[in-house]
Amino acid sequence: MTVRAATPPWTADEMMTVTAARMLWNGCVCFVGIGLPSAAANLARLLHAPQIVLIYESGTIGTRPEVLPLSIGDGELAETAGTVVPLPEIFAYWLQSGRIDVGFLGAAQVDRFANLNSTVIGPYDRPQVRLPGAGGAPEIAAHARQVFVVLKQSARSFVPKLDFVSSGGFLTGGGARRLCGAPGAGPQAVITDYGILKPQPGSDELALVARYETVTAADAVKATGWPLVVAEQLEVLAPPTAAELEVLRALHARTQIAHSRPVKLPV
């Protein structure tokens, strides 16, 4: 017996976080970015995946933070890590070496072949909006065995053509990725506030394969900047359970308190 409501008792972020967390398995080695991916990975750790291995690009391996980091290098990540290694080592020995099961990425824009833009809106030389840039994403996208993308869906973020390719997904589709020398399988799921998109065999084009029960496929198509393919068998995702929401909200609450603690320098 599930609740159905126009405005359910959880936020879109919570729904996305819970959905992403459910896709991670116990023991999975996960290369985590800040924000929603970090929340999802730690939620999974606190729920069904206690042995998940979380790696942040700051060099913290096997970290188990009590509260979510605001930055990729918060002290909490180091203090609770199994080991902390130099940053060049993280990218060479741990990511490029093919040891990452799941790389978790966000972006400003995604296209139908799951290529990502986190660099610039408008021309690179005369940007309308200069974004922070790629950071670790290009090599996470290339080397992780699979990549999960988490991004709210809208015609402005799900675009027919990226202004800039920061991280390669399936490039031009149709197997182009396999020819380019990227070792990983690429983006295997895009988790949005409408549901889950996955690349279709052969074309590599993203299709809506699952939706939240609060939305329709038509809603998702409307929120996409290209004619979105919808799978014939469209799965309906179970809503967050009370347990999932409780653990997630407690995590955010702990985080809130920790981050608002005033810092005093030893004078």
Active-site residue set: 57
Sign for the CA dihedral angle at 142, 144, 145, 147 comes to negative
Give the single-character DSSP code of 11. -
Q: At closest approach, how far in Å is the CB of 93 from other proteins?
A: 5
Q: At closest approach, how far in Å is the CB of 224 from other proteins?
A: 22
Nearer to other proteins, 70 or 231 (CB): 70
Nearer to other proteins, 69 or 199 (CB): 69
Q: At closest approach, how far in Å is the CB of 238 from other proteins?
A: 30
- Cβ atoms < 10 Å from Cβ of 180: 11
Nearer to other proteins, 87 or 155 (CB): 87
Give the single-character DSSP code of 180. T
Nearer to other proteins, 149 or 215 (CB): 149
Q: At closest approach, how far in Å is the CB of 65 from other proteins?
A: 13
CA distances (Å), origin 189, targets 37, 151, 246: 13, 11, 25
Q: At closest approach, how far in Å is the CB of 122 from other proteins?
A: 9
- Phi then psi dihedrals of residue 133, to 5 deg: 115, -175
Burial (Cβ within 10 Å: 0-12, 13-18, ≥19) of residue 95: buried
H/E stretch holding 249 reads helix 242-260
**Euclidean distance between the first and final Cα of the chain, in Å?**
59
For 142-178, give the DSSP string: HHSSEEEEE----TTTB-SS-S--SB-SSTTSTTHHH
| Amino acid at position 17, single letter | T
Nearer to other proteins, 83 or 241 (CB): 83
